[in-house]
Structure 1
Amino acid sequence: MLDTQFLNEKATKFRSALKKVKQIIDRGPEEFINTPMYPDRVQYYMIIAYDELDQIACHLIKEISGAKKKENCVDDLVSQDIFSGKVSRGLQDFKKFRDSIFETRFKYSPEQMYVSVKNILDNLFDNFISELAQLVKELKSKEPELSIPVNLKKVNEQAKAVKSSIKKIKIFLGYPFDEFKENPMFLDRTRYFLVVAVDSSLWICRHILRKLKSKYKNCFDGLFREGVISQKTADSLNKLLSLRDDLANPETDIPAEELFKTASESIQVFENYIKEISRAIIGKSDT
């Protein structure tokens, strides 16, 4: 789902950087070309603006096509044909300009820079943000309505931490117990990933209860009382929570047999937890 807060922050920084560029470009070609610091400043702010633009593009591409990229997304966004011709040309020209800056090792001629940057500004400065806002509005209208108005991006991040911890714990548990108990790394990492899973589960719990405007002394019991998770899951999570500090304290001895048993039982507990909160939030089996 779209993270509108993230997009707003990036769009604001993008617009701010372009505004600084425009203030210089508006001084005219003669003053720009004859003032050495102007091309340097424009180069600097254009690179900042492009970095923000690329992050916006990557986030949009993920939502539109499902592709997960962390950079070099502007061309992909243009290929979706969702912006006007003017904005699309501006995005393409911006990509070419940014590539040329690095290819020339920051020795772009002032005369050529002025023309290129002015064209980019003419196409993007007054148009990109408004078209982006309209696009976001359209994409948001297609998103499922959440039963609980959580910050889904942050909940997903914590849920992924739980899933990742479970996956790593399963690797350690896949070894014969005799080998498990004799390997200090297995023991240490199992304790660590149990703590991570508990902490992330607790973060999700507190976040959901805040969104429900509910206050309970015991978080997991609160989720049960609100109908988000089963009592069995709440009781199992409370048991793991009670062990959390001992697991995190390397000076606290936990017998290998007890750790192995706790870790083995925790797998289903955490998997059930993720499924149950997912159903409560968006009515799906996976978060």
Structure 2
Amino acid sequence: MLDTSTLERESRACEFLWVDLMPDPDVSMLNAVLDAYEVCRVRELHHVSSAIRLHAPPFVCFEVDDPDTRVFDSLMRVRNDHPELPVLVITGRDSIVVATWAVRLKVWDLLVKPVRHEELNETLSSIASIRRERDTAVVSNALSASSSSSGSQPCNRPGPPKRTLAAISHLHAHFACRISLETVAAACRLSPSQFCRVFRKDHNVSFCQYLLCFRMNRARELLERENMLVKEVAYAVGFTDLSYFTRSFKRHFGVCPAAYQEGTRRYAAG
């Protein structure tokens, strides 16, 4: 399992970032989806940038009844600093000004209240699914490049970036153990904050996402090839929380690990 550090908070505490600018948090639409997602809630605009840096969320949702200049400026800052980050805006004001800003800032979607819970869930699921597919593809490509570097490799074929190679080596050797951000950063002779920036620049994903994808792929292999209980697989790839492992596996592959294992056994038997 990940150490209780920035690395763990990034992976476990934030499936997305919700900027709740409602005067009363009890009326926020976030309350309708809290049971389905692990959300980082921000109530102040000046906390948005630091929350994005800390949690690296897959996407951001702004909920505000009546957007003003401060909200638009914050949205613009997010889009400029993180152009790859999808942004959903939920507002209670239906006006040409808001629509124009949404188009200009290239937000993912604009929902105007009243919004049905079904519509909100469909929108969140759509954004999460597309981001998950993109991130999985990016991480899988990075993992393939890293794996190929351990064998024979032509001299003209680029290997993994040298600045973070020590972290990748540590991950491959110790993925079943507790891994802290400080440990892998020190292995690369970088501070934790420097390491986060360098790793994301080199691999296009955070180290935490890379590690989670590696563990999920290893878990899938064990479920396919080994006669192991699901909890044994979870522990073998570095999880001590079985429920978190099950949720992570289902989000990653679209099916819970027990069902996946049963399906592979039936296929092999048939």
> Considering the TM-score relative to the shorter chain, is it more than 0.5?
no
Whose helix fraction is larger, Structure 1's or Structure 2's? 1
TM-score by length of 1: 0.28
Whose strand fraction is larger, Structure 1's or Structure 2's? 2
Q: Which has the larger radius of gyration?
A: 1
